[in-house]
Amino acid sequence: MQVNNEFRPKIVAFCCNWCSYAGADLAGTNRANYPADVKIIRVPCSCRVNPMFILRAFQRGADGVILCGCHPGDCHYTTGNYYARRRMTMLFSMLSYLGIEKGRTRVEWVSAAEGAKFAATMNEFVETITALGENKRLEDLRCKK
């Protein structure tokens, strides 16, 4: 396999406002490093993430998408992360049917106190995506002008 050292993956991370986004902030406060390839989008709750957003990210050339929410039972809105979990299970199985490797998508629970876990998760995810290489399967070339 040809390894391209120049390859830097594009990674979109959806983080819920109450737990994971705060966890990401804590990672920053603790200066817990992870690669700059991860770009975070803040959503009120993991259940706000429409499967469409993830498809859109892949269509626009993202190499990996991760969704982070509160731990089961700890959702600020009581049940949001359960909805997210079910929706993503459905979406990911369909993505795998389309030939998108399983490692490119992920759901992770990160609490507001888990800055170290957030950084560790991102490091690991970037590593996985870098190993998988560029994602072209869903990319819409019309978007590349």
Partner 1 sequence: MRRIGVFVCHCGTNIAGTVDVKTVAETLGKEPAVVYATDYPYMCSEAGQNIIKDAIKEYKLEGVVVCSCSPRMHEATFRKAVSAAGLNPYLLEVANIREQCSWIHKDMEAGTAKAIVLGRAAIAKVQLNAPLIAGESPVVKRALVIGGGIAGIQTALDIADAGYPVDIVEKEPTIGGKMTQIDKTFPTLDCSSCILTPKMVECAQNENITIYSYSEVEAVTGFVGNFSVKIRRKARFVDENKCTGCGVCTEKCPVKNVPDEYNLGLSNRHAAYIPFAQAIPNVAVLDKNRCIKLTKGKCGLCSTVCSAGAIDYEQKETIVEEKYGAIVAATGYNPIKIDGYDEFAYSQSKDVVTSLEFERILKADGPTDGHLQRLSDGKQPKTIVFVQCVGSRESGSSHGCGKEYCSKICCMYTAKHAMLCREKYPDTDVYVFYIDVRTPGKNYDEFYRRAVEQYGVHYIKGMVGKVAPQADGSLMVQASDLISNEQLHVKADMVVLAAAIEPDKSARPLATMLTASMDTNDFFTEAHAKLRPVESPTAGVFLSGVCQGPKDIPETVAQAGAAASKVIGLLAKDKLSCNPCVAHSNEMMCNGCSSCANVCPYGAITYADKDFSRRQDGSMIRRVASVNEAVCQGCGACTVACPSGAMDLKGFSTSQIMAEVDAICK
Residues that bind partner 1 (CB under 8 A): 10, 12, 17-19, 21-22, 24-29, 31-36, 39-45, 47-53, 56-57, 60-62, 70, 73-80, 83, 87, 111-114, 119
Contact 109, 75 (CB under 8 A): no
Contact (CB, 8 A) for 41 and 14: yes
Min. distance of Cβ 128 from partner 1 in angstroms? 18
Supply the minimum distance, in Å, between the C-beta of residue 131 and partner 1.
20
66 vs 69: CA distance, rounded Å: 10
- In the complex, what is the shortest distance from the CB of residue 90 to partner 1, in angstroms, rounded to a whole number? 11
CB 16 within 8 A of CB 68: yes
14 and 49 in contact (C-beta within 8 Å)?
Answer: yes
Nearer to partner 1, 52 or 131 (CB): 52
Quick one: 1 or 77, whose CB is closer to partner 1?
A: 77
The minimum distance between CB 96 and partner 1, in angstroms, equals: 20
Residue 77 or 132 having the CB closest to partner 1: 77
- Dihedral class, residue 61 (left if φ above 0, else alpha if ψ from -120 to 50, else beta): left
Question: At 84, which amino acid appears?
Answer: A
